Structure 1
């Protein structure tokens, strides 16, 4: 059992707070701050990637900055039970390709699993890449929108 810090907060809660502040303030220059916040073998998954390890996670975040500008994560809500948290977020960005003149927004939820020391053991993102990303692409978008309309219940 881990002793609670003097202020009554537990290590998991403190770690969650640190990680969420990190995400909300993430820039290419702060990317190395991930080192003290996630486990060496962290599992990161989103609609485009499924990797293990801190280095692989950092590579994905670095690619995001390579491919996008005006990146911002906004934490919209957090529910925590023990060592798991669900985080509702908005991700705002401008893709450098695919009509990057207009900002895009993706809204989703991250399932975070925390180690007893408060570091992130798993970060699993859930969001609708079909309507929030693929449907906005110049060539693929019309096809995705057509298929979605065909699948809608009348």
Structure 2
């Protein structure tokens, strides 16, 4: 059952649009936990709110799932998040860990991606500071 839900979820991610956000309940358990670098929420309405917010913040958001690794009640995805803002195109690589409940619905969703390198490095002052910090922490 997880495989059917997982494929449906991947298809949903890759074609998500404002009109399809309401389908989240088909894939997520009612009390699902969703975590990413900016959010830590519980429940389908809160998850839908995150995706609705995404469409207000960026233009033409699109997920491209690159790899899938599955276990008994879990899966990991790697993906690229493509979007534009201010006329500039961005590609943010990331990964998602999913855990499924006995009904095959997602009960835990955790996204891993680096907002500093993906979004903030290009900003004039903040980017300079972050690049300096990254350079200092880099193994030489």
The TM-score range, normalised by the shorter chain, is: over 0.9
The offset of 1:137, in angstroms, is 2.9
- Which contiguous aligned blocks of 4+ residues in structure 1 show a shift greater than 6 angstroms? none
Q: What is the CA–CA distance in structure 1 between the aligned matches of 2:24 and 2:64, rounded to whole Å?
A: 18
Structure 1 match to 2:42: 52
What are the within-5 Å matches in structure 2 for residues 5-24 of structure 1? 11-24=1-14
Q: What is the CA–CA distance in structure 2 between the aligned matches of 1:126 and 1:118, rounded to whole Å?
A: 22
Q: 34-43 or 139-148, which moves further after superposition?
A: 139-148
What are the within-5 Å matches in structure 2 for residues 1-154 of structure 1? 11-95=1-85, 100-154=86-140
Q: What is the CA–CA distance in structure 2 between the aligned matches of 1:81 and 1:68, rounded to whole Å?
A: 33
Q: Deviations over 1:86-108 (max 9, x none)?
A: 0010000113xxxx211111101
Q: Is the 8 A contact 1:15 1:117 kept in 2?
A: no
Structure 2 gaps of 5+ residues are none
Q: What is the CA–CA distance in structure 1 between the aligned matches of 2:116 and 2:138, rounded to whole Å?
A: 14
TM (norm. structure 2) is 0.94
Structure 2 match to 1:4: none
Q: Deviations over 1:5-29 (max 9, x none)?
A: xxxxxx1111111111110110011
SS of residue in 2 equivalent to 1:62:
helix
Which structure shows the bigger proportion of residues in helix conformation? 2
* Root-mean-square deviation (Å): 1.1
Structure 1 gaps of 5+ residues are 1-10
SS of residue in 1 equivalent to 2:23:
helix
Q: What is the CA–CA distance in structure 2 between the aligned matches of 1:138 and 1:35, rounded to whole Å?
A: 40
Choose 1 or 2 for highest CA Rg: 1
TM (norm. structure 1) is 0.86
